[in-house]
Structure formats: C-alpha cells, structure tokens
Amino acid sequence: MTEETGSFSEWLWPTAFMIAMGWVIWHMPVFILDFAPHANESMFAQVSAIHISKDVTPNMAGLFGGFADPIDWLALVLVPIFAFMGVHTSRVAAMEFQEWRRIDRFSIFIGRVTMILILTMTTVMLYEVFVRYVVEAPTKWANELTLWIAGFVFLLSGLYAMQQRCHIRIFIIYDMLPRNVQRFCDVLWTFMVMVFAIGLVYGSYKQVFIRKFYNWEMMGTAFDPPIPAIIQPTILIMIILISLQAISNLICDWNAEPKVHTAADDVDEEELAAIKRAIGEE
C-alpha cells in the first residue's frame, strides 16, 4: 500500500511540531508552576528561579493570573494540532514497510520528526564548527544542544524502527519453524517487551517524574539545559509507545504469510543503482 510521499506538508508539520514542542519543553517550568505548584516553598522558589532565568519572553505577562504567557499557551495548544496534521498527512515511501495500518501513521510521523531532528542537529554542529574555527567565537550551548537532540533522536527512532520491523532480529531458527510456532514466538517476545516496559515504568516513575521532571533538574553547566528533567521521562514514554507498537505489529502480522529472510533482503536496489550511476556503470 504505497502512497505519494515527499510533499511539502510532510516537512512542514514535523518541523512545526518540533518547534512548538521545543518551546513547550524549554518553558515547562511555567506549566509546572501553573498546573501543579510545589507545596514546598524552597522547591517552588527553585523552579520559579529556573523559569525566570530561562524565559525567552521575560517581559510578557502571564495569562489567567499564572506564569505561562500567551506564547507559552499558544505553543501548548499548537503541539496537538501540529501532531494531528502531521499524522494525517504522513505518507509511506516506497523504501518503507508497506503493510502498514492507519494506527501506524503516528509512528511514521514520529519517524519524520526524527529526520527533522537529525537535520537540526547537523545544522547546530556545522554552526559550531564555523563559529569556533572561522570566527573563533565558540558557543556555550551547541555541544549540549547537540547531545540533547541526539538523545531524542535515539529514543524516537526506536518507535519508528519497531513500526518498520527494522530492529535487530535473528531469523536463523525462526524461519525454520512452522507458522503456528512462529506465532507463538511472536506472542512470547511481545509479552516480554510488555513485561519489560511495565517493570521499567513501575520501578522508576517516581524517580523520573517526581525527582527529575517535577523538580525540573538541570545539567548544571554554562548552558544548563534540562536534559535530566526531560530525557528520562521520554525514555519511559517511548518504551510504552514501543510496546504498544509491538502489540500492533503482532496483530497486523498475525495472518501474514511466512517469509524466508536472506542476505538479499538487506540490499537496497535503488541505492545500488544510484551508486552504479555515480561511478559510471550501468
């Protein structure tokens, strides 16, 4: 089931989503202070101080008597809107997994967001190289921003890889089994993924969401990004989404015909043809 891909909207909505989500993440202290303020005065003062030091629009008054200003609220409202539009307009390329269902559109959209993040990370790195070695005025933020984006790329790509069935799998024994036994193996490993996800969330949600996220723990460096406060919760969120995608894959592939995997499966014919054209071979 292949649809036309590569349209402008497939770049627009992931980029808009990334920008809006980036604003919300950077200004998350205002939403913590508005929606769930700390009862402890010292922690309230600490999060308030973080908000004051990191606010991009410090002179703009908050709405509804709170800390979040109009731009903060606008970004928060636009995040689900951009996500909906991105999911709705996502199309599957010819090189991607074709036996997808509507529920897989979200994972495909996350894959597109990951691609935009990679471009953004590359741009930040090139900018830092330019200002460091040409202008001789290195930044304090480029390296840590690159690490921050790379963390998101690593986590988000896991969901896309699960949907595309391109995660590491060993088929030597699996391909020799009857289809009913293969289904049993599929159920078993999906169950193991679910157990791991539940155990990870249950064992660490207090540490992650209360100590890291709720207290908005920073890196403590010159740039001081909230990497601990946001990356660790993202790990739990993504492992949940990956386990749900594994269940979706199990349902989608249940009646699929058995497939024998060979080394030829790893060969991209289009890429091979492009390489031959580049070196002058037909």
- The answer to whether position 116 is within a domain reads no
Distance CA 34, CA 26 (A): 15
Q: What are the pLDDT digits (tens) for 73-125?
A: 999 999 999 999 999 988 888 778 777 788 889 999 999 999 999 999 999 99
Range of the domain at 76: 1-91
**CB of 225 within 8 A of CB of 219?**
yes
**CB of 116 within 8 A of CB of 148?**
no
- The answer to whether position 213 is within a domain reads no
- The answer to whether position 1 is within a domain reads yes
- The answer to whether position 249 is within a domain reads no
- The answer to whether position 2 is within a domain reads yes
- The answer to whether position 65 is within a domain reads yes
Distance CA 182, CA 213 (A): 41
- The answer to whether position 44 is within a domain reads yes
Buried b (16+ CB within 10 A) or exposed e, 76-109: bebbeebbebbbebbbbeeebeeebeeebbbbbb
The closest of 60, 82, 84 to 72, measured between CA atoms, is: 60
How many domains is the chain partitioned into structurally? 1
In the chain, what percentage of residues exceed pLDDT 70?
A: 94
In the chain, what percentage of residues exceed pLDDT 90?
A: 70
Distance CA 143, CA 225 (A): 11
Please compute, for residue 229, the number of CA atoms within 13 A of its CA located in the half-sphere on the CB side.
Answer: 19
- The answer to whether position 201 is within a domain reads no
pLDDT above 60 for 1? no
Distance CA 127, CA 135 (A): 10
Full-model pTM: 0.87
Average pLDDT, integer, range 178-203:
94
Distance CA 26, CA 68 (A): 12
**CB of 230 within 8 A of CB of 151?**
no
